[in-house]
């Protein structure tokens, strides 16, 4: 079996299938030289406890029948990382099954004026990748010195991660695995006021209680009062999760505004319409249209624009409105159906990939034997690691059931997997990173972290990663 992607979805699928069908051989392909996907490049550095799942992944990495093939992307989607590429068609020729678990490598755009022209507007994905050492964004150098107000568009947990990074005491971050370059930039930051802006209301936010509580407790950081007209009158009668969230928003921060060095707010019912710039091409402000909720306290309420404009000064702006998966090159040829709107591989709900229609007269998508998907590329870009694990297990169960019931799998030339593909890849002078190479990179990063009092100091370029593997 081949797995494309080494994030939680890939590892949990491998773990489950290998536990239940012990003879399974798994080759896991990863576009980057290092494993773990968003656990390494997404999860905030001050949340080390979340990364504990890596222990289980390390265990899988050591299984005898498991081969990690890093710095190799499938179908070219990861080509910009500078690694090697294997076309999907070649892979399909040498495996019984392929699991697509390659996550969401792009982000959603607002599509409003100023977004792509002005300097100082970042996707949360870029900013998060930058402070977490993702090679693609090592040179992002976000400018936090242009003024004091930052605007974050979107009210999910990623938006709160970005807000926390901007507001947190740099000395707290210093002990985490945030990159030294990010620390230096944050140290120079002039940002004092962060707006986390949603197009809907408090009852419709996407973030969760633990993450908002953390912000409320930050030392020296105050929270501006929420618009009470949007909070239900009888909070105590709400179900547990919204009840706790509303109580937290009403209670506010530990630090009061008059004693705070920095502050933040949750600004509701504002839908972005335009970014305005200064003569030097840098962002100056963000314009929003005030919205009105169809049903204030209904978590799924829609909004309509009121026509009223609100402008918030912005020396920097982040759009944090979600990640996006894209189809891999080669999907069309393989007949794999990708839902561009939802950004997911069409599948039967348990991860069996669906293909193009049988013929023009039928609406039904055909199942493609031996092809599966898991994680964000199966379900869309939402869900924490625990839900991604559940999702990967459901895909694994489908594979296991298909195997034991004799369902058809891929019918290529051979089932010899990496053995058959390896020569072609290495002929192209690619430096493939295997598990023991990754262990060397891991050790080198930990050693670099020691004198800094950090768990690790990440390498932020592919060249450095490969050099550490060869050392």
| Interacting residues with ligand FAD between 304 and 323 (CB under 6 A) | 323
Contact between 163 and ligand FAD by CB under 6 A: the answer reads no
312 forms part of the interface with ligand NAP (CB under 6 A): no
Which is nearer to ligand FAD, 161 or 437 (by Cβ)? 161
Site stretch for ligand FAD (CB under 6 A), options 171-179, 181-189, 294-302, 382-390:
382-390
Which stretch of DSSP H or E encloses residue 123?
strand 121-123
Q: Which stretch binds ligand FAD (CB under 6 A): 74-82, 87-95, 335-343, 427-435?
A: 74-82
Nearest-approach distance from CB 153 to ligand NAP, in angstroms: 5
Please write down the HEC assignment for all residues of 164-184: HHHHCCHHHHCCCCCCHHHHH
CB of 310 to ligand FAD, least distance (A): 27
| Token digits of residue 322 | 């979600």
Q: For the residues of 308-359, what is the DSSP string, one character each?
A: EEEEEE-SEEEE-S-EE--PPTTHHHHTB-EETTTTEE-B-SSSEEEEEESS
Here the tokens at position 1 are: 């079996």
Rounded Cα distance between 329 and 335, Å, is 11
Choice between 149 and 211, CB closer to ligand NAP:
211
Is residue 179 a contact partner of residue 460, using CB atoms and an 8 Å limit?
yes
Asked if 123 and 342 touch (Cβ cutoff 8 Å), the reply is: no
C-alpha–C-alpha distance, residues 386 and 9, integer Å: 10
Interface with ligand NAP, residue 198, by CB under 6 A = yes
Q: Is 83 in the site for ligand FAD (CB under 6 A)?
A: no
Q: Does 330 engage in binding with ligand FAD (CB under 6 A)?
A: no
Return the structure tokens found at 34. Answer: 């290092």
* Residue 317 contacts ligand NAP per CB under 6 A: no
How far is CA 451 from each of CA 47, 172, 386, rounded to the nearest angstrom? 21, 16, 33
- Exactly one of 8, 322, 330, 449 binds ligand NAP (CB under 6 A); which one? 322
Per partner kind, with CB cut-offs from 5 to 8 A, the member of ligand FAD, ligand NAP, none near residue 155 is ligand NAP
Q: Is 105 in the site for ligand FAD (CB under 6 A)?
A: yes
Asked if residue 415 lies in contact with residue 95, where contact means CB atoms within 8 angstroms, the answer is yes
Residues that bind ligand NAP (CB under 6 A): 110, 153-159, 161, 198-200, 204, 206, 211, 271-272, 320-323, 381-384
Residues that bind ligand FAD (CB under 6 A): 4-10, 29-32, 37-39, 42-43, 47, 50, 73-75, 77-78, 101-103, 105, 128, 158, 161, 323, 328, 375-376, 383-385, 388
């Amino acid at each position: 079996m081949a797995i494309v992607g080494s994030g939680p979805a890939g590892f949990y699928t491998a773990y489950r299938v290998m536990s239940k069908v012990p003879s399974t051989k798994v080759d896991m392909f990863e576009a980057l030289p290092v494993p773990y996907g968003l656990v390494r490049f997404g999860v905030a550095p001050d949340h080390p406890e979340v990364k504990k799942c890596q222990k289980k992944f390390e265990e899988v990495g050591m299984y005898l029948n498991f081969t990690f093939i890093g710095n190799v992307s499938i179908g070219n989607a990861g080509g910009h990382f500078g690694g090697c590429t294997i076309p999907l068609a070649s892979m399909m020729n040498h495996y019984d099954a392929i699991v697509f678990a390659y996550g969401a490598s792009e982000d959603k755009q607002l599509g409003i004026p100023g977004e792509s022209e002005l300097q100082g507007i970042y996707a949360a994905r870029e900013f998060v990748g930058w402070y977490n050492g993702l090679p693609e964004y090592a040179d992002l150098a976000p400018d936090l010195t242009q003024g004091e107000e930052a605007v974050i568009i979107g009210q999910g947990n990623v938006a709160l991660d970005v807000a926390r990074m901007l507001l947190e005491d740099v000395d707290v971050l210093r002990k985490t695995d945030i990159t030294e370059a990010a620390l230096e930039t944050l140290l120079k930051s002039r940002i004092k006021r962060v707006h986390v802006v949603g197009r809907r209301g408090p009852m419709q936010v996407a973030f969760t209680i633990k993450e908002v509580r953390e912000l409320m407790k930050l030392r020296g950081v105050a929270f501006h009062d929420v618009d009470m007209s949007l909070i239900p009158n009888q909070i105590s009668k709400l179900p547990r999760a919204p009840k706790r969230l509303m109580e937290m928003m009403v209670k506010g921060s530990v630090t009061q505004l008059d004693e705070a060095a920095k502050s933040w707010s949750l600004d509701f019912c504002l839908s972005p319409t335009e970014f305005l710039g200064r003569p030097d091409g840098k962002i100056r402000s963000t314009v929003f249209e005030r919205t009105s909720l169809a049903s204030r306290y209904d978590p799924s309420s829609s909004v309509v624009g009121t026509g009223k404009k609100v402008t918030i000064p912005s020396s920097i702006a982040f759009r944090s409105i979600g990640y996006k998966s894209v189809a891999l090159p080669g999907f069309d040829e393989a007949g794999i159906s990708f839902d561009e709107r939802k950004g997911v591989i069409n599948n039967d709900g348990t991860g069996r990939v669906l293909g193009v229609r049988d013929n023009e007269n039928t609406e039904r998508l055909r199942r493609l034997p031996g092809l599966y998907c898991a994680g964000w590329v199966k379900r869309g870009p939402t869900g924490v690691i625990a839900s991604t694990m559940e999702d990967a297990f459901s895909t694994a169960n489908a594979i296991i059931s298909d195997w034991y019931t004799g369902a058809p799998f891929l019918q290529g030339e051979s089932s010899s997997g990496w053995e058959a593909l390896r020569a072609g890849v290495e002929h192209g002078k690619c430096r493939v990173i295997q598990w023991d190479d990754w262990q060397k990179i891991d050790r080198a990063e930990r050693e670099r972290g020691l004198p800094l009092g950090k768990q690790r100091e990440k390498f932020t370029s592919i060249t450095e990663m490969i050099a550490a593997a060869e050392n």
